[in-house]
Structure 1
Amino acid sequence: MGTWGFFIGFAAVSLYGPAAKYFQEQMQLSGVALGMLLAAPQLTGSLFRIPFGAWVDRVGGRAPMLTLLGLSLLGMWGLVFILYAVPEITARHYPLVVFFGFLSGFGVASFSVGIPQVSYWYPQRRQGTALGTYGGLGNLAPGLFTLALPFAIAGWGLAGSYLAWFLFLLIGTLVYAIWARDAYYFQLRKQGASPEASRKIAAAHGQELFPRETVWQAIIAAAEEPRTWGLVALYFTSFGGFLALTVWFPIYWANLHQMSILTAGLLGGVGFSLLAAVIRIYGGVLSERFGGERTALLAFSVVLVGALLLTFIVDFRINLLGEILIGLGMGVGNAAVFKMVPKYVPEAVGGASGLVGGLGAFGGFLIPPELGATVDALGKAGYAGGFFAYVVLAIMAIGVCWYFIRLDAKARG
Structure 2
Amino acid sequence: MNRPGLQLLLQTSSLVVGFMVWVILSSLMPFISNDIHLNSGDIALITAAPVILGSLLRVPIGYWTNRFGARILFFISFIVLLFPVYYVSKANSMADLMIGGLLIGVGGAVFSVGVTSLPKYYPKEKHGFVNGIYGAGNIGTAIISFAAPVVANLYGWRITVNLFLILLVAFALFNFLFGDRKEPKVNTPLMEQIKGVYRNSTLWFLCLFYFITFGAFVAFTIYLPNFLVNHFELDKVDAGMRTAGFIAIATILRPVGGWLGDKINAFFILMLVFFGLTFSGFLLSFTPSLTIYTIGCLAVAICSGIGNGAVFKLVPMYFSKQAGIVNGIVAAMGGLGGFFPPIVLTILFDWTGHYAIGFMALSEFSLASLILVIWMYYKERLFVADNVLNNTAAGLILTDPKGKITRINPAFTAVTGYTEEEVIGKTPGVLRSGKHHKSFYDHMWKNIMEKGFWQGEIWNKRKNGETYLELLTISAIKNEAGEVKYYAGMFNDLSRSDV
TM-score (norm 2): 0.72
Residue in 1 that maps onto 2:112: 112
Aligned-residue offset at 1:25: 4.3
Instruction: State the number of aligned residues.
Output: 376
Residue in 1 that maps onto 2:368: 396
Matched, 1:407 2:379: yes
Which of 214, 226, 229 is residue 251 of structure 1 equivalent to? 226
CA distance in 1, matches of 2:42, 2:56: 21
Greater relative contact order structure (CA < 8 Å, 6+ sep):
1
Aligned-residue offset at 1:357: 0.6
CA distance in 2, matches of 1:182, 1:393: 43
* SS, match of residue 386 in structure 1: helix
Aligned-residue offset at 1:26: 4.2
CA distance in 1, matches of 2:230, 2:263: 42
Deviates more, 1:325-334 or 1:357-366: 357-366
* SS, match of residue 119 in structure 1: helix
CA distance in 1, matches of 2:190, 2:67: 6
Which of 18, 21, 24 is residue 12 of structure 1 equivalent to? 21
Which of 87, 98, 101 is residue 78 of structure 1 equivalent to? 87
Residue in 2 that maps onto 1:145: 144
Deviates more, 1:52-61 or 1:337-346: 52-61
Matched, 1:163 2:137: no
Q: Is the 8 A contact 1:79 1:162 kept in 2?
A: yes
Aligned-residue offset at 1:20: 2.1
The structure whose residues are more often strand, as a share, is 2
Aligned-residue offset at 1:28: 4.0
Gaps of 5+ in 2: 1-9, 386-499
Residue in 1 that maps onto 2:68: 59
Matched, 1:43 2:52: yes
Q: Is the 8 A contact 1:283 1:332 kept in 2?
A: yes
* 1:275 partner letter: I
* SS, match of residue 273 in structure 2: helix
Which of 293, 302, 316 is residue 290 of structure 2 equivalent to? 316
Residue in 2 that maps onto 1:269: 244
Residue in 2 that maps onto 1:341: 315
CA distance in 2, matches of 1:406, 1:13: 38
CA distance in 1, matches of 2:131, 2:308: 10
With over 3 angstroms needed to count, the CA separation of the structure-2 counterparts of 1:8 and 1:37, relative to structure 1, is same
* 1:100 partner letter: G
Q: Is the 8 A contact 1:58 1:214 kept in 2?
A: no
Deviates more, 1:34-43 or 1:161-170: 161-170
CA distance in 2, matches of 1:212, 1:291: 32
Q: Is the 8 A contact 1:33 1:369 kept in 2?
A: no
With over 3 angstroms needed to count, the CA separation of the structure-2 counterparts of 1:144 and 1:314, relative to structure 1, is same
Matched, 1:215 2:215: no
Which of 365, 382, 387 is residue 359 of structure 2 equivalent to? 387
Aligned-residue offset at 1:34: 1.5
CA distance in 2, matches of 1:24, 1:155: 17
Aligned-residue offset at 1:27: 4.1
Gaps of 5+ in 1: 84-88, 187-210
CA distance in 2, matches of 1:370, 1:228: 26
* 1:408 partner letter: E
CA distance in 2, matches of 1:405, 1:328: 22
* SS, match of residue 312 in structure 1: coil
* SS, match of residue 346 in structure 1: coil
Q: Is the 8 A contact 2:18 2:110 kept in 1?
A: yes
* 1:391 partner letter: S
Q: Is the 8 A contact 1:234 1:400 kept in 2?
A: no
Q: Is the 8 A contact 2:25 2:47 kept in 1?
A: yes
Deviates more, 1:214-223 or 1:338-347: 214-223
Residue in 2 that maps onto 1:240: 215
> How well do the aligned residues superpose, as a CA RMSD in angstroms?
1.7
CA distance in 1, matches of 2:335, 2:195: 19
CA distance in 1, matches of 2:248, 2:293: 17
Which of 309, 325, 333 is residue 359 of structure 1 equivalent to? 333
Residue in 2 that maps onto 1:198: none
Which of 247, 254, 260 is residue 235 of structure 2 equivalent to? 260
Residue in 2 that maps onto 1:208: none
Aligned-residue offset at 1:183: 5.9
Which of 331, 347, 362 is residue 373 of structure 1 equivalent to? 347
* SS, match of residue 285 in structure 2: helix
With over 3 angstroms needed to count, the CA separation of the structure-2 counterparts of 1:403 and 1:67, relative to structure 1, is farther
Q: Is the 8 A contact 1:220 1:351 kept in 2?
A: no
Q: How does 1:279-298 map to 2 (within 5 A)?
A: 279-298=253-272
The structure whose residues are more often helix, as a share, is 1
Q: Is the 8 A contact 2:270 2:373 kept in 1?
A: yes
With over 3 angstroms needed to count, the CA separation of the structure-2 counterparts of 1:54 and 1:29, relative to structure 1, is same
Q: Is the 8 A contact 1:235 1:360 kept in 2?
A: yes
* 1:109 partner letter: A
Deviates more, 1:159-168 or 1:37-46: 159-168
1:114-169 Cα offsets, whole Å, 9 max, x none, are 11111111111110111111112x11100111111110110111111111122222
Aligned-residue offset at 1:308: 1.8
CA distance in 2, matches of 1:38, 1:32: 10
* SS, match of residue 19 in structure 1: helix
Matched, 1:69 2:78: yes
